[in-house]
């Protein structure tokens, strides 16, 4: 039996006992939150090693930002765990019930999925977010982070497991794969005897590899080729503020925008205002010919690949479009189905955009940066699903459950 198979066996045993726990899960989460705060210095020391290694290995500053922890971010991680503890427990919730003509009482209830695997990249906060959500929803979790954050992840996982030893829960509800070679991820994708669901969190390359190679069920998350369409009736200052926030507040995350589409009738007035705001953060613009005619040679000529790229950096593609039809057609062709926005004062166009754009989150006059479990009132999230089966959008507790039917009778036979 391999190391991962042993982990899978332990996780399956832990999941069986975890599935029937109630308030004990909240008690354990509170212990985890306290332990994260109490061990802030140890986490920061481990994270410094990862950040230093990342800079030495040439990681971009946006990736370094995703990798970096601070006292405030650790406090946020701990608060996220407490927020999850405060949420209603989904397990055992009755979804529907009926009494059949033959006298059978049939009830559909929420139950845990079982053992969930999470493959993620350079975001150590995912370690506590994913673990807390899985634990609260009654699932054991096997975490597999990237090599960039291995020291941070090990430290955080060890702290959480030590906290669980002070609770009635099995510490193997949370496990971390310490081998960051490709072989460990491939083996995790094939752990069919133990893994009930695999969730990748990271860039397009990671998600594509998991979807193409996994033998266990997968929920796709994260890739965010997101757009803002500035309609001809848009309030220009509102559009500039939304675009500035959606691109620059944190460009390395999946709900940041990568392309703006501007209606031709407003482009000459709007584009200079938008560019002036983006210049505050030195955002590189890659634009179509009409964009360059308005803004000049400081805009790099866009190529076909730019419309399909998730930059995760201070880079933004810009295209002038003839009308809302062209904007929707462009989004339909290039969107990853994550988050899309229209800025408009036209009620009819707002409704068209809401109804015709196919994405997990569709915005009217608001930044795409709100696509987040916390912002949607779900507590911490396991990821943002860009597919349509089972879960879509920010995945909170309910999305980490399955269901079963309870049938009660008094001797009926068929």
Calpha distance 166→282 (Å, rounded): 49
Question: pLDDT averaged over the chain?
Answer: 95
- Which pLDDT value is given to residue 223? 81
Calpha distance 54→73 (Å, rounded): 19
Contact by Cβ (8 Å): 112, 401: yes
Is the predicted pLDDT of residue 379 greater than 80, yes or no? Answer: no
- Which pLDDT value is given to residue 208? 84
Query: What sign does the dihedral 266-271-274-277 (CA atoms) show?
Result: negative
* Helix, strand, or coil (residue 290): helix
Contact by Cβ (8 Å): 264, 290: yes
What pLDDT, in 10s, does the model give residues 155-198?
999 999 999 999 999 999 999 999 999 899 999 999 999 999 99
Calpha distance 53→67 (Å, rounded): 11
- Which pLDDT value is given to residue 201? 84
CA distances from 69 to 44, 72, 164, 248 (A): 7, 8, 23, 19
Comparing CA positions, the residue from 186, 189, 184, 121 lying closest to residue 153 is 121
Query: Domain extents for the chain?
Result: 3-221+382-408, 226-370
What pLDDT, in 10s, does the model give residues 101-120?
999 999 999 999 999 999 99
Establish whether domains 3-221+382-408 and 226-370 are of one fold.
no
pLDDT grade for 263, boundaries at 50, 70 and 90: very high
Is the predicted pLDDT of residue 380 greater than 90, yes or no? Answer: no
Contact by Cβ (8 Å): 122, 57: no
Mark out the alpha helices in 262-360 (DSSP H runs).
264-279, 289-295, 304-307, 324-334, 347-356
CA–centroid distance for 387 within its chain: 12
- Which pLDDT value is given to residue 226? 98
Calpha distance 117→8 (Å, rounded): 10
Comparing CA positions, the residue from 390, 414, 397, 407 lying closest to residue 108 is 407
Percent residues over pLDDT 70 in the chain: 99
Sheet holding 401-408, edge to edge: 94-99, 105-112, 401-408
- Which pLDDT value is given to residue 159? 98
Which residues fall within 8 angstroms of residue 56, CB to CB, at 6 or more apart? none
Calpha distance 306→386 (Å, rounded): 20
Is the predicted pLDDT of residue 1 greater than 80, yes or no? Answer: yes
pLDDT grade for 390, boundaries at 50, 70 and 90: confident
Contact by Cβ (8 Å): 108, 95: yes
Assess if CATH 3.40.50.2300 describes domain 226-370. Answer: no
Calpha distance 157→176 (Å, rounded): 7
CA atoms within 13 A on the CB side of 326: 13
pLDDT grade for 382, boundaries at 50, 70 and 90: confident
Comparing CA positions, the residue from 335, 336, 120 lying closest to residue 210 is 120
- Which pLDDT value is given to residue 322? 98
Is the predicted pLDDT of residue 204 greater than 80, yes or no? Answer: no
pLDDT grade for 123, boundaries at 50, 70 and 90: confident
Q: Which fold has domain 3-221+382-408?
A: Aldehyde Dehydrogenase; Chain A, domain 1 (3.40.605)
What is the CB neighbour count within 10 angstroms for residue 368?
28
- Which pLDDT value is given to residue 16? 96
* Helix, strand, or coil (residue 200): strand
Per DSSP, which regions of 351-392 are E strands? 361-364, 384-385
What pLDDT, in 10s, does the model give residues 72-95?
999 999 998 999 999 999 999 999
Burial class (CB in 10 A: 0-12, 13-18, 19+), 50: buried
Is the predicted pLDDT of residue 222 greater than 80, yes or no? Answer: no
Burial class (CB in 10 A: 0-12, 13-18, 19+), 32: buried
- Which pLDDT value is given to residue 381? 78
Tell me 218's DSSP state.
B
């Amino acid at each position: 039996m391999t190391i991962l198979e042993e982990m899978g066996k332990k996780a399956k045993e832990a999941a069986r006992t975890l599935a029937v726990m109630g308030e004990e899960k909240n008690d354990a989460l509170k212990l985890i939150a306290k332990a994260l705060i109490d061990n802030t210095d140890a986490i920061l020391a481990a994270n410094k090693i990862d950040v230093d290694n990342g800079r030495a290995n040439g990681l971009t500053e946006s990736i370094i930002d995703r990798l970096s922890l601070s006292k405030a971010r650790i406090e946020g991680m701990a608060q996220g765990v407490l927020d999850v503890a405060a949420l209603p427990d989904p397990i055992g919730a009755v979804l529907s019930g009926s009494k059949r003509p033959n006298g059978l009482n049939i009830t559909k209830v929420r139950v845990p999925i079982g053992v969930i695997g999470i493959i993620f990249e350079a975001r150590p906060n995912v370690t506590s977010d994913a673990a807390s959500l899985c634990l609260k929803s009654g699932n054991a979790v096997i975490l597999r982070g990237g090599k960039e954050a291995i020291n941070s992840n090990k430290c955080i996982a060890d702290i959480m497991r030590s906290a669980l030893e002070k609770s009635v829960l099995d510490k193997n509800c949370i496990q971390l794969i310490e081998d960051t070679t490709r072989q460990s991820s491939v083996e995790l994708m094939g752990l069919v005897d133990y893994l009930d669901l695999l969730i990748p969190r990271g860039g397009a390359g990671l998600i594509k590899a998991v979807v193409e190679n996994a033998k266990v069920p997968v929920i796709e998350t994260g890739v965010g080729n997101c757009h803002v369409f500035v309609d001809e009736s848009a309030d220009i200052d509102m559009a500039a503020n939304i675009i500035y926030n959606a691109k620059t507040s944190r460009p390395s995350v999946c709900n940041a925008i990568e392309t703006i589409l501007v209606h031709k009738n407003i482009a000459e007035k709007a584009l200079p205002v938008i560019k002036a705001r983006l210049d505050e953060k030195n955002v590189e613009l890659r634009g179509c010919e009409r964009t360059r005619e308005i803004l000049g040679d400081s805009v790099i000529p866009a190529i076909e690949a730019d419309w399909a790229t998730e930059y995760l950096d201070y880079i933004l593609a810009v295209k002038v479009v003839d009308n809302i039809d062209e904007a929707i057609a462009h989004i339909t062709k290039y969107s990853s189905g994550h988050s899309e926005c229209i800025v408009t004062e036209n009620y009819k166009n707002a409704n068209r955009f809401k109804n015709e754009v196919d994405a997990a989150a569709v915005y009217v006059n608001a930044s795409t940066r709100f696509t987040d479990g916390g912002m949607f009132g779900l507590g911490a999230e396991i990821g943002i699903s860009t597919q349509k089966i089972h879960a879509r959008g920010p995945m909170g507790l309910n999305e980490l459950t399955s269901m079963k039917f309870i049938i009660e009778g008094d001797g009926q036979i068929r």
